[in-house]
Amino acid sequence: MQKLLLLGAEAIAQGAIDGGMSGIYAYPGTPSTEITEYVQKSKAADKRKIHSQWSANEKTAMEAALGMSYAGKRAMVCMKHVGLNVAADAFVNSAITGVNGGLIVTVADDPSMHSSQNEQDSRFFGKFAMIPILEPSNQQEAYNMAYEGFELSEKFKIPVLLRITTRLSHSRAGVQTKENKPQNPLTYPEDPIQFVLLPSNARKRYKDLLALQDLIDEDSEKSIYNFYFDGSDKSLGIISCGIAYNYLMENYPERNCPFPILKLGQYPLPHFKVEKIVNECRNVLVLEDGYPFVEEQLKSFLDKSGKIKGRLDGTIPRDGELNPNIVGKSLGKPVKTSFAIPKIVANRPPELCSGCSHRDIYNALNETMKEFGKQKVFSDIGCYTLGALPPWNSINSCVDMGASITMAKGAADAGVRPSVAVIGDSTFTHSGMTALLDCVYENTPVTIIISDNSTTAMTGGQESHATGRLEEICVGLGVKPEHVRVLTPLPKYHDEMVEVLREELTYEGVSVVIPRRECIQTATRSKKESKAKGEEVTT
Amino acid sequence: MKTNIILAGVGGQGILSIAAVVGMAALENNLYLKQSEVHGMSQRGGAVQSHLRISDKEIASDLIPEGTADIIISVEPMESLRYLPWLKENGWIVTNTTPFVNIPDYPNIQDLIGAIEKFPHQISLNADEIARQVKSVKSSNMVVLGAASPFIDIPYASFENGIRQIFGRKGEKVVQLNLNAMKAGREFSEKKRKHN
Ligand SMILES: Cc1ncc(C[n+]2csc(CCOP(=O)(O)OP(=O)(O)O)c2C)c(N)n1
């Protein structure tokens, strides 16, 4: 037991380690990546033989965690919010099967889309699956919730959703750790068909889940994370969810908020406490990061009273993350800024690193596409998405992982020639392989460029499941070996790359081009690491 | 005491190392600390910032409210101006003057320096040059931290211990280079303040 300075993400990892976890499963994704990375680096986790290798995607991670839970052990699965879309089938059904060992599904949402395609709110998924949701307001609670979450899951025999947002995940503060709990022994579920969701059993399991709802409501009602602070001024009541509580308190440095506050950290909503604050106060302000999840539940469709204030009535902006100023404004506290940003300050968007292999393939692709016309290149999610920005302007889509290949297929079916996909190696093994199989199945004329930098670069350089096996996978899926072309993306091979691209773009069938050169970041890092210690390096 | 610090720079310039050193120094003095950082997309050569809050009382928000930062510490001149709405009226700007030019419309450096020097409370220094002088070329971030250290109410020895803890696993030589860089920055800053 010690005091550590931890990111919210790291606090969850440490809480899970101390809470008796036997395995963590995840695919990287900002802002969730650091949870698993922390376990991978933890000496304690290593000593306790906690599984922490990356999974191919969020769905495989969710399923592996469920399998570990089936065997009686405590497991955690982590992902970013859009990862839960990928894992949704397994996730929703895991509430029906229930668990054996405790299972925590940790999902990091990204309001304001610092590094994401959307700002969806995972609490809706938790409600949809009808399981308890925990939402910490600070790093200590993040630790505690992970530490205790396995027991909550085991108490009701269903998974628990732990929801955090970018700000908490990537902010550091002191965390007091607790005593290490032992891992569970290997046990099988009491009922051998608990996990068999044949309709006959699924109907029974679903009724069990419905019957549990009163109990998880009651648990929320009693939860220490749902706390009612009384206040003398009942003209306003404030409901704060998770981290919003901190922004609220920031506006009362002396901790003298005159209004009653309901601080929420566990869902389903605690009915009595919510009713109390709504009945006692003239107006109710709902502060929540993400979608108006609580606000919508309070504000019924037919209610025209205008009593509930929040994102839906414009008191708080409808989109984007909260901050102390937005919360202050909603309480009528003006923001006092002294300086504006001078006009001279230019935008500085992210860019492909100098020396990055994606640069070379985009240069070659742009030159080749001059002959074939514009707007025919579908792409995907990763560092290479920056090829959508100047000076390249090479790609025309980025939707969800794997979509480049299947969108190129659909466009080819519609008559687009050539129809091109640009995808990263890790994204390809995450969700591109089944898409390629669709193309092979119909021999659709598409050219798929797998820009292979042999890592998952965008999220910080985690190992890629694709490394060393891309050609085999493509040929195994049915691409003709002569149309799997490997290139070395370097300026000196520019003409050669253009030549190969031209050949494959005119081929009326499935072709895969693999420009392969290690990510400049991971290459530099491993060079530094292999150099003797004592060199002049700071990072 | 309560100090709100905005750290600014470009992804990869080492502002998180500054944050880590200050964090260690704060812990050694039993102060509360909250530090929010940027991971992900913008680390690829984009503008990055970190909010660092130190206090002897518990800190509520991970984010600094606008208009309340005591110092902006920047490892790049243009970036020192990007977060001005956060700076309080009498707040300080401590910034490196070596530009990091990775965009086509990067402003004229003299105009930038001019905009910075308009502030009554600022220390601007060529941290890259100072780092070279003390043969710690890669530690310009620690030069900037050194220049900012007089404005943070923590004993200097604690910053030194912070460097030892953060860089310790990279060996004694790296520790020493960073210590030298920080010291050079601090001396510059103290001299400059005496002149003002
Ligand atoms: C469903 C989902 N999971 C995770 C992410 C986060 N993510 C974005 S890009 C990326 C990695 C891409 O790696 P790769 O395809 O190899 O491209 P690179 O960044 O290396 O160029 C990840 C994990 C996401 N956006 N969506």
Q: Is residue A257 part of a domain?
A: yes
Is A343 within a domain? no
* Pair of tokens at residue A38: 């922390």
Token pair listed for A410: 């659909």
Centroid of ligand 1 to alpha carbon of A520 (angstroms):
17
Q: Tell me what the mean pLDDT of segment B147-176 comes to.
A: 96
| Contact across the interface for A341 and B81, Cβ inside 8 Å | yes
Alpha helices by DSSP H, listed for A420-485, are 425-427, 433-442, 470-476
DSSP state of A462: B
Selection from A24, A69, A26 nearest residue A195 by Cα: A69
Q: Both tokens of residue A530?
A: 């292999």
Structure tokens at A289: 């990061």
Would you tell me how many other CB atoms lie within 10 Å of the CB of residue B48?
26
Among A35, A116, A427, A433, residue to substitute to test ligand 1 (most atoms within 8 Å of Cβ):
A427
Please state the domain count of chain B.
1
My answer on whether A13 and A67 are in the same domain is yes
Measured from the CA of A451, which atom of ligand 1 is nearest?
21
Closest alpha carbon to A90 in A49, A119, A61: A61
Residues A216 and A79 in one domain: yes
ipTM score of complex: 0.94
Residue A235 sits in the same domain as residue A193:
no
Assess whether A471 and A456 both reside in one domain: yes
Tell me which of A222, A251, A271 is where a domain ends. Answer: A222
β-pair partners for A456: A462
Find how far residue A55's CA is from the centre of its chain.
14
CA geometry: angle A8, A12, A17, nearest 5 deg: 145
Q: How many CA atoms lie within 13 A of B188 on its CB side?
A: 28
Alpha-carbon torsion, ordered A433, A435, A439, A445, to 10 deg: -100
The two tokens of residue A432 are 């591109």
Ligand 1 geometric centre to CA of A398 (Å):
11
Tokens of A12: 């969850």
Q: Quote the pLDDT of residue B42.
A: 66
User: Cβ-count burial of A351 within 10 angstroms (0-12 exposed, 13-18 middle, 19+ buried)?
Assistant: buried
Look at chain A and count its residues. 539
DSSP string, B44-75: TTSEEEEEEEEESS----SSPPTT-EEEEEES
**Contact between residue A100 and residue A72 where contact means Cβ atoms under 8 Å apart:** yes
For residue B126, the domain's CATH number is: 3.40.920.10
* Burial tier of A495 (Cβ tally within 10 Å: 0-12, 13-18, 19+): exposed
Indicate the DSSP class of residue A452: B
CB contact under 8 A, B17 and A167: no
How far apart are the CA of A324 and the nearest CA of chain B, in angstroms? 6
Whether A538 is covered by a domain: the verdict is no
Distance CA B174, CA B164 (A): 9
- Whether residue A536 and residue B85 make contact (CB cut-off 8 A), yes or no, is no
User: From the CA of A318, how far away is ligand 1's center (Å)?
Assistant: 28
Identify whether A292 is part of a domain. Answer: yes
Query: What's the rounded Cα separation, in Å, for the pair B70 and B89?
Result: 9
CATH of the domain at A113: 3.40.50.970
Instruction: From the CA of A461, give the closest atom in ligand 1.
Output: 20
In a domain, A392, yes or no: yes
Of residues A383, A387, A438, the one with CA closest to residue A408: A438
The span from the CA of B178 to the CA of B142, in Å, is 6
Handedness of CA A457, A463, A468, A473 (dihedral sign): negative
Residue A366, CB half-sphere, CA atoms under 13 Å: how many? 15
Query: What range does the domain containing A52 cover?
Result: 3-222
The domain in which residue B8 lies consists of: 2-195
**Closest Cα in chain B to A460:** B40
| Coil/strand/helix, residue B36 | strand
Last residue of a domain, one of A202, A222, A242: A222
Taking CA–CA distances from A253, the nearest residue in chain B reads B60
| Residue that is last in its domain, among A222, A245, A269 | A222
Q: Could you tell me if A218 and A235 lie in one domain?
A: no
Asked if residue A184 and residue A89 are part of one domain, the reply reads yes
Q: Compute the count of residue pairs across chains A and B with CB atoms less than 8 Å apart.
A: 179
CA–CA separation, A169 vs A125, rounded Å?
A: 19
Q: What was the pLDDT predicted at B12?
A: 85
User: What is the C-alpha separation between A28 and A383, in angstroms, rounded?
Assistant: 14
Q: Are residues A401 and A481 in the same domain?
A: yes
Q: Are B127 and B75 in contact (CB under 8 A)?
A: yes
> Which residues does a 6 A CB cutoff place in the pocket of ligand 1?
A 27-29, 58, 80, 82-83, 86, 381-384, 401, 424-427, 453, 455-459, 464
- HEC string of A505-520 equals HCCCCEEEEEEECCCH
Closest C-alpha to ligand 1, atom 9: A382
* CA–CA separation, B22 and B154 (whole Å): 9
Same domain, A243 and A159: no
pLDDT for B122 beyond 50: yes
Q: Specify the pLDDT at position B147.
A: 98
CA of A450 to the centre of ligand 1 (A): 13
Is residue B194 scored above 90 in pLDDT? no
> Which of A80, A99, A107 minimizes the C-alpha distance to A152?
A99
Say how many Å lie between the first and final Cα of chain A, rounded.
30
Same domain, A38 and A98: yes
The answer to whether residues A277 and A376 belong to one domain is no
Domain co-membership, A197 together with A235: no
Of B11, B61, B115, the CB nearest to A250: B61
Burial A369-384, CB ≥16 within 10 A → b, else e: beeeeeebbbbbbbbb
B139: confidence class by pLDDT, cuts 50, 70, 90: very high
CA distance A168 to A267: 18
pLDDT string in tens for chain A (539-residue length): 788 999 999 999 999 999 999 999 999 999 999 999 999 999 999 999 999 999 999 999 999 999 999 999 999 999 999 999 999 999 999 999 999 999 999 999 999 999 999 999 999 999 999 999 999 999 999 999 999 999 999 999 999 999 999 999 999 999 999 999 999 999 999 999 999 999 999 999 999 999 999 999 999 999 999 999 999 999 999 999 999 999 999 999 999 999 999 999 999 999 999 999 999 999 999 999 999 999 999 998 888 889 999 999 999 999 999 999 999 999 999 999 999 999 999 999 889 999 999 999 999 999 999 999 999 999 999 999 999 999 999 999 999 999 999 999 999 999 999 999 999 999 999 999 999 999 999 999 999 999 999 999 999 999 999 999 999 999 999 999 999 999 999 999 999 999 999 999 999 999 999 999 999 999 998 887 776 444 444 43
**What pLDDT does B41 receive?**
66
Residue A294, pLDDT score: 98
**B167 contact residues in A (CB cutoff 8 A):** 538
CB-CB under 8 Å, B33 with A172: yes
Return the residue in A33, A80, A345 with the most chain B beta carbons within 10 A, the one to mutate for interface testing: A345
Residue A531 included in any domain:
no
**CATH assignment of the domain containing A255:** 3.40.50.920
Residue A154 maps to a domain: yes
Q: Are B59 and B32 in contact (CB under 8 A)?
A: yes
Q: For residue A348, is it within any domain?
A: no
Interstrand relation of A227-229 and A21-26 (parallel, antiparallel or unpaired): unpaired
- Alpha carbons A429 and A438: distance in angstroms, whole number: 15
Q: What is the pLDDT of residue A304?
A: 83
Give the pair of three-digit tokens for residue A169.
Answer: 């995940």
Same domain as A105, residue A247: no
CA A89-A397-A490 angle, to 5 degrees, is 110
Is residue A180 packed enough to be buried (19+ CB in 10 Å), middle (13-18) or exposed (0-12)? middle
Kindly determine whether residue A5 and residue B63, on different chains, have CB atoms separated by under 8 Å: no
Count of structural domains within chain A: 3
Query: Given strand A160-165, what is the order of strands in its sheet?
Result: A21-26, A74-80, A103-109, A160-165, A133-134, A266-267
